[in-house]
Structure 1
Amino acid sequence: MLVRYSPWQELNALERHLNGLLGDTKVPSARFEKAFIRVPAVELQETKDAIHLKLELPGISAKDLDVQVTEDAVHISGERKSETKTEEKGTTKSEFYYGKFQRVIPLSTRVQNTNVTAEYKDGILNLTLPKTEQEKNKVVKVNL
C-alpha cells in the first residue's frame, strides 16, 4: 500500500499547536501557509493603455520601500520595523510580521518603465505602468 506524503499535514499540526499557545486567537490558514514567504498582497488590472498595480503594505512608511520597474517586471522590497514599547507588566500576543520582504511581479506585457507613476496612501501603493507603443498597437490576426 502506498501512502502519499503531504508536508501540509505537518504545517496544519503546527498551526493547531500555535493556536493552542495563542488561546482563542486563530492564525488564519492562508496567511500561515504563506508565513515562510513574507510578501505583500497584489492586485493587477490591465487596460488597453496601461497596467495598474496595487500593493497592500500596511504599517510600512514610504522611506522603507524600494520599488524598481523594468520593462517586464516590478521589483519591490522593504521592511516593516517593529515599534519598541516598554511595558511594565503584561503579556503581548502578536500575529504581526516585522522584518524584510521582497517580491518580483512579472508583467504580461512590456511597459514604459521611464513613465511609471506612483501613489502611496493609507498603506496602499498604486502604480500605473503605461504600455509601450508596440504593445498598445499589437494586433494578432487569426487565420480561419
Structure 2
Amino acid sequence: MALIRWQPFQEIDALQREMNRLFDDVLAPSSRRENGMAFMPAAEMKETEDAIHLKLEVPGLEAKDLNVEVTADAVSISGERQSETKTEEKGVFRSEFRYGKFQRVIPLPAQIDNQKVQAEYKDGILKLTLPKMEDERRKVVKVNLG
C-alpha cells in the first residue's frame, strides 16, 4: 500500500476555485447566459504610442450581426448568434454550438478619439484601431520617489 501525502491547502484552493465558478455562473447577467454558460468573446489589446489596437474573436457571425459602440474610455461589443434549426428524421439531433445574445464592455487604458476609430472584420476576427487623444500622447507624469 502506497502512502500519499495529504496537502490540505491544495484541496482548499480547489474548493475556492469551484465556489468562485459556481457564484460566477449564478451571478452572471441573464442576458449573457446560454444554457447555463455565459458567452464572452475573447479579446486581445495592444497599446502603442499613438493608438490602442483591440482584436476580438467572434466566429460564426457576419459584420451586420455585430454592434460596436465606442466612448472615449470604453468599447462595447454586442451581437447575437442565430441558430439554424434542423430536424433529423431518425429522432436524434445534437448541437454543441452556442447561440444567443452576448455583450462585452472593455475599459480602455487611455482616452481615445472615438471619431477616428477604424474597424475591420474578417474571418471571425474584429480588429479595432482606437487612436489616442492628442492630450494623452503628450501627457507626461512626474513620479515622486519620496
Category of TM-score, reference length = shorter chain:
0.7 to 0.9
Task: Provide the residue aligned with 1:45 in structure 2.
Answer: 46
Q: What 5-or-longer segments of structure 1 have no aligned partner?
A: 13-34
Task: Provide the residue aligned with 2:113 in structure 1.
Answer: 112
Amino acid aligned to 2:129: T
Distance 1:132 1:10 in 2: 38
Amino acid aligned to 2:59: P
Task: Provide the residue aligned with 1:86 in structure 2.
Answer: 87
- Asked if the contact 2:87–2:93 (Cα under 8 Å) also holds between the matched residues in 1, the reply is no
Distance 1:56 1:112 in 2: 23
Distance 1:120 1:92 in 2: 32
Q: What CA RMSD, in Å, does the superposition of the two structures yield over aligned residues?
A: 2.5
Distance 1:7 1:102 in 2: 24
Q: What 5-or-longer segments of structure 2 have no aligned partner?
A: 1-11, 23-35
The Cα shift of 1:96 comes to 1.5
Distance 1:90 1:39 in 2: 32
* Distance verdict in 2 for CA 1:119–1:10, change over 3 Å: closer
Task: Provide the residue aligned with 1:20 in structure 2.
Answer: none
Specify the SS of the correspondent of 1:52: strand
The Cα shift of 1:9 comes to 6.1
With structure 1 as the length reference, what TM-score do the two structures score? 0.74
Task: Provide the residue aligned with 2:131 in structure 1.
Answer: 130
The Cα shift of 1:66 comes to 0.5
Distance 1:104 1:61 in 2: 20
CA deviation map 1:75-94 (0-9, x unaligned): 11100111122322263333
Task: Provide the residue aligned with 2:74 in structure 1.
Answer: 73
Larger radius of gyration: 2
CA deviation map 1:30-67 (0-9, x unaligned): xxxxx632110000000000000000000011111100
The Cα shift of 1:142 comes to 3.1
Task: Provide the residue aligned with 2:18 in structure 1.
Answer: 8
The Cα shift of 1:6 comes to 4.4
Distance 1:45 1:10 in 2: 29
Amino acid aligned to 1:112: D
CA deviation map 1:84-122 (0-9, x unaligned): 223222633332210000110000100000100000000
